[in-house]
Structure 1
Amino acid sequence: MRRFTALLGVPLILLAACARTDGSAPGGPGGSADRWAAFQQRADEVADAWRSAAGRPQWLAGYAPLQSPTVLPGDPGFTSETEQAFHAGWYETQLELPTETPADGTVSFPDGTLAVPLISAADAYATIRQGDPPQCPPDQSTPGRPGPDPTATSPAGAASDGPDDSVASGQLGGCQVLTVTAVTLGSVDLLTSRGTAQVPAWLFETTELDTPVARVAVADSVNIATPSPEVDQATDLTDFVVAQDLTSVADVDLGYRLGVGACDSDITPFVQEYADAVVVSGSVVRTGEVCTDQLLLHPVTVTLDEPIGGRTVLDAVTGQPLRLVPVG
């Protein structure tokens, strides 16, 4: 029996493909007419279930973010150390961050606007700062940053300075932090339940990055919960895999990642468009071989007939809306 449990960030095959959206079967052995018919039937079921999902009217009228509230609005010019610091949330600042709550802000959707309460710069900073690097070699330590912890990897708290401990081997990474030098209230593009919106955000300038780190300034209390449509198990999609998340949303180009097995081949994206939704998935050819117990994230792209606009992207297997997780 095949089981998929481990997530690997690097897919086996970095191959992008496009699916047809004109009703014909995608090309190649993975896109047979039978598979296309099975996918279309399932896509219709998922789209119908989405339209009747509890809470959907509120979700489409309010504010429901579909990506992380921490955004890089431009090219950060990452090094390996600064990228690690960004993802780990290692920041420091000598600024006196404003603690006052600003007046209500405005989220600008493609179909209208919404007044929303905001959080202070200090509260926003508290959400992006997740702590300090776990270990710093002594020659890299600076005031305000942690030095080496001689008890971190030793049993019963005993000190260790041998060559096999994690500090000596570098297993716990470096000491780089991101130094905040200024903060302003601005806005950032964010994928929401009503399409890509302009959302109020605190913009943190840092010494180490070429673009600010934007943290959405909208109070969490206004976030609308994502509806969960009720769909039957996809018994007719035995050769289809789950779309895990979105990687890019730009006009008619849609990128997403499929969860595939190590022995799967002929990975083919499928997409079906509706006026209010886009349903995606992907088919694979199973080899029947005994494979390693892992799930690989395989990126694909499709070209839509119409711009995505405010339509929700749904996975055909689970029926659930997909979130945007930019990669690369």
Structure 2
Amino acid sequence: MRRPVLLLVLPLLVVAGCAPTRADLFDGPSDPQRAEAFDQRAAQVAEAWQPGPEWRTGYVPLEGPTVLTGDPRFTPDTEAAFRAGWYQAQVPLYPTRVGGEIRFPDGRLTLPLVSAAEAYRQLDQGDPLPCPGRPKRPGLPTPGGPTVEPGPDGWTTSTAAPTACRSLTVTGVTLGSVPVRTSRGEAQVPAWLFDVEELAAPVARLAVAPTAVGRVPEPTAPAEPLPDGLVSAQDLAAVDGARLIVRLGVGACDTAITPLVWERPDVVVVGGSVTRSTDVCPAILKMEPVTVTLAAPLGARPVLDVSSGAALSIAPR
């Protein structure tokens, strides 16, 4: 059985504009230096980016293998089950393996696929933990007395509203395809589409065999530490043409959070600028979504973190 994961909902900070790397985006005597420091480091990161041939000719996915195909109309119960990977199958799952074709913007690639049974084994992460005093189905009242809530270190006593401990029910499976961001841009990738009784949209598990999946290259970061006042990008929340939603890693008390982007025809580098608090502040990394608009659609260009030089992937959805 898999331990539950504590979910954190974060606010979305939207910043309009194109490629905000100019010094006039900042206030104060030190801000022009900060903007210049970002541009210099971004150029170093871009120059160090040297992926192998597989990046341009193979299949290197830049998002996770489980994808929602539409709005699932989550309830708190079904979202918890989805994030934890709690499923039960009520249909046959056949072990037959087949081949499939990935359609990239610049061509096609035929690769081996896993069977529906293998995809389900990858999708299913076990059963819910026992929930004493909990309803067996969502929406039913809970008997009096304390309830048990999942936490980062296990189960703890709580009087908060209960969440039913139940799995999602798989009622059908078909082989289809879903859009996936890859090193060669957005591709149509074969996937097993699992119909789930409790959700309004199928859950897709990418079907490409693990042996055919390429790895994202290890990053090469500049030798110097990230200049003070700049922060790293953790991942991408969404890509829509020239519009990116980037999650920055900021401090709990940071203010004036501003996205920064540096781009050239073959690569994009992102990060952010913050104002640090002078007060005592807990040492907590906060994921802050921000929006940037590129000068041109992203296409197949990699998006690199200005701190580590890592290629950013799409956050789980």
Q: 1:21 and 2:19 equivalent?
A: yes
When the two structures are aligned, how many residues end up with a matched partner?
298
Instruction: Tell me if structure 2 keeps the 8 A contact 1:237–1:317.
Output: no
Residue 166 (1) aligns with residue 148 (2):
yes
In structure 2, what is the equivalent of residue 95 of structure 1? 91
CA distance, structure 2, for counterparts of residue 312 and residue 26 of structure 1? 27
Output the CA distance in 2 between the equivalents of 1:236 and 1:84: 36
Residue 307 (1) aligns with residue 297 (2): yes
1:186 and 1:202 in contact (8 A); partners too: yes
Q: Which residue of 2 aligns with 1:289?
A: 279
Which of 294, 303, 306 is residue 316 of structure 1 equivalent to? 306
| Alignment-derived partner of residue 153 in structure 2 | none
Scaled by the length of structure 2, the TM-score of the pair is 0.86
The SS at the match of 2:238 is strand
Within the alignment, does 1:126 sit opposite 2:124 as a pair?
Answer: no
- With over 3 angstroms needed to count, the CA separation of the structure-2 counterparts of 1:241 and 1:326, relative to structure 1, is same
Q: Higher strand fraction: Structure 1 or Structure 2?
A: 2
The answer (yes or no) to whether the contact 2:134–2:164 under 8 Å persists in 1 is no
Distance in structure 1 (CA, Å) of the matches to 2:224 and 2:163: 43
Change (3 A) 1:108 1:324: same
C-alpha change, 1:109 and 1:221, in structure 2 (3 Å) is: same
Distance across 1 between alignment mates of 2:37 and 2:24: 13
Contact 1:8 1:295 (C-alpha < 8 Å) held by counterparts: no
Q: Deviations over 1:225-262 (max 9, x none)?
A: 21123232344622111101100001010011111111
Give 1:8 deviation, angstroms.
Answer: 8.3
**Counterparts of 2:7 and 2:167 in 1: how far apart (Å)?**
26
Q: Is the 8 A contact 2:26 2:32 kept in 1?
A: no
What is the distance in 1 between the residues matched to 2:113 and 2:315?
24
* Correspondence for 1:32: 31
Which residue does 2:175 correspond to in 1?
185
Supply the distance in 1 between the matched residues of 2:119 and 2:136 (Cα, whole angstroms). 27
Q: Pick which of 162-171 and 233-242 moved more.
A: 162-171
* Contact 2:220 2:308 (C-alpha < 8 Å) held by counterparts: no
Amino acid at match of 1:73: T
**Structure 1 spans left out of the alignment, 5+ residues:** 1-6, 143-161
- How far 1:29 moved relative to its partner? 2.7
Normalization by structure 1: what TM-score? Answer: 0.83
Whole-Å Cα distance in 1 between the matches of residues 131 and 146 of structure 2?
A: 16
Counterpart secondary structure, 1:228: coil
Unaligned runs of 5+ in 2: 1-5, 138-143, 150-156
In 2 relative to 1, CA 239–138 (structure 1 residues): closer, same or farther, beyond 3 Å? closer
| Identity of matched residues, % | 48
TM-superposed deviation, 1:175: 2.1
Aligned mates of 1:93, 1:180 — CA distance in 2: 5
For 2:67 and 2:280, the matched residues in 1 are separated by 40
Q: Secondary structure at the match of 1:37?
A: helix
Contact 1:67 1:324 in 2 (8 A): yes
- 3-state SS of paired residue (1:166): strand
